Amino acid sequence: MKKILVFLLAVLTLTSCAKNEDSSSTESLGRNNEGVSLIRLTMPSEPDSLDPYISTASDTEAVMHNVYEGLVLFDENGSIIPGLAESWEISDDGLEYTFHLRDDVTFHSGEHMDSADVAYSFEIISGLSTGEPISSRFSTITAIETPDEYTVILNLSEPNAAFLEGTRVGIIPEGYTDSATAPIGTGPYEFVEYTPGQRIVLEKNDEYYDESRMGSIDRAEIYIMSDESAIVTALQSGQLDMAQVTGSDAEVLNRNFTIHSNPQNMVCLFALNNAIEPFNDIRVRMALNYAINKDNIIYGAFDGYATRLDSNFSPVMASYYNSDVENFYPYDPEKAIELLKEAGYTDGFSFTITVPSNYQQHVNTAQIIAEDLKAVGIKAGIQLVEWGTWLEDVYSNGNYETTIIGLTGKLDPYEILVRFVSDFRRNFFHYNNGEYDKLIKEAMVETDENKRAELYKECQMILTEDAACVWTCDPNLVIAMRSDLKGYKSYPLAFTDLSALYYEE
pLDDT per residue as tens digits for the range 64-123? 999 999 999 999 888 899 999 999 999 999 999 999 999 999 999 999 999 999 999 999
Contacts made by residues 442-445, CB under 8 angstroms, sequence distance 24+? 443/161, 443/413, 443/414, 444/137, 444/159, 444/160, 444/161, 444/162, 444/414, 445/94, 445/158, 445/159, 445/160, 445/161
What phi, psi does 188 have (nearest 5°)?
-70, -15
What is the SS3 string spanning 427-448?
CCCCCCCHHHHHHHHHHHHCCC
pLDDT of residue 31: 66
In this predicted model, what pLDDT tens digit does every residue of 430-449 receive, in sequence order?
A: 999 999 999 999 998 888 88
pLDDT of residue 33: 57
> Residue 359, Cβ neighbours under 10 Å: how many?
20
Give the amino acid at 321.
Y
pLDDT of residue 35: 67
In this predicted model, what pLDDT tens digit does every residue of 213-231 receive, in sequence order?
A: 999 999 999 999 989 999 9
> Do the beta carbons of residue 380 and residue 352 sit within 8 Å?
yes
> Do the beta carbons of residue 30 and residue 503 sit within 8 Å?
yes
In this predicted model, what pLDDT tens digit does every residue of 189-204 receive, in sequence order?
A: 999 999 999 999 999 9
Q: In whole angstroms, what is the distance from residue 157 CA to residue 271 CA? A: 34
Q: In whole angstroms, what is the distance from residue 71 CA to residue 82 CA? A: 7
Q: Which residues of the chain have a pLDDT value below 70?
A: 1-35
Pairing of strands 469-482, 242-244: antiparallel
Domains and CATH numbers, the chain: 2-57+187-256+484-503 (3.40.190.10), 72-166 (3.90.76.10), 267-476 (3.10.105.10)
pLDDT of residue 412: 87
Q: Which CA distances in Å does 59 have to 1, 45, 494?
A: 23, 7, 7
